[in-house]
Amino acid sequence: MKHAFAALFAIAHREALRFLGQKGRLVAAIVRPLVWLVVFAAGFRAALGLSIQPPYQTYIQYETYIVPGLCGMILLFNGMQSSLSLVYDREMGSMRLLLTAPLPRWWLLACKLMAGSVISVLQALVFLAIAAAYGVSVPWFGYLAVIPALFVAALMLGALGLMLSSFIRQLENFAGVMNFVIFPMFFLSTALYPLWKMAEASPLLHDICALNPFSHGVELIRFALYGQLAPVSLAVVLGALAVFGAAAVWGYDPARGMTARKA
């Protein structure tokens, strides 16, 4: 147990140092959703048929709706970037040294996943603070209730990136796969539009959005911001976390890699 927590602390410390050494990463993570919040919200608000006239509460109605989706965007991008570092570590050889530590492989990967998720949650909380200063307000208890929701959603998205990194061997290929995964997952979700709007456009799009685990992560965050629990979304997020995590542990199995090289 002592060695397990020592490994967790060491991996978390390494991730924190790496994050602090990449100050542009935090800036990019915050600026990206802020652009959506400030610039593009007017167009999406008009598309939803919401008034852009005063009073101010009506003006920020759509901004309030998309804030959970933009938090999900931060978690999604950071989860993929954390997994991108795994591909780099594997090319440099440091990942091999990590996995040869005398600890269960699943625990080492879980430590990496938890460390990246904590960083994701901190970035999302910074964004929520900026959004509150902008005028998007939620009940005060929502800021406390949303922390575990953010963490669970970050674990799921980080596990997705971890699973992808276990099957992609080259850094350049993973960067392309990131875009292939991130944008469909984000746009085919409830991050920007409610499901009933998707149903008006296309029943097929509605079904895809309803099955998208990212949608349920966003809904989990959205309900938590108002102190409510979305049990179906929580179950889907935990189920997806288990599937992605198990696939990542299987993908990082050294015996599987040796078998593939012999073949």
In tens, the pLDDT along 205-252 reads: 888 889 999 999 999 999 999 889 899 999 999 999 999 999 988 887
Q: Is the pTM of this model over 0.85?
A: no
The pLDDT > 70 percentage for the chain reads 72
Nearest to 25 by CA among 126, 113, 111: 126
For residue range 113-143, list pLDDT tens digits in order. 888 899 889 999 999 998 888 778 788 888 9
Which residues are within 8 A (CB) of 175 and not within 5 positions of it... i.e. 6 or more apart? 84
Left (φ > 0), alpha (ψ -120 to 50) or beta: where does 170 sit? beta
For residue 196, the surrounding DSSP H or E stretch is: helix 195-201
pLDDT in tens, 191-218: 888 887 777 778 888 888 899 999 999 9
Q: Do 69 and 190 form a contact (C-beta atoms < 8 A)?
A: yes
Compute the mean pLDDT over every residue in the chain, rounded to the nearest whole number.
78
Token pair listed for 83 = 């997994």
Question: What radius of gyration, in Å, describes the C-alpha atoms of the chain?
Answer: 19
Q: Is the pLDDT of residue 29 over 90?
A: no
Q: What percent of the chain has pLDDT over 90?
A: 21
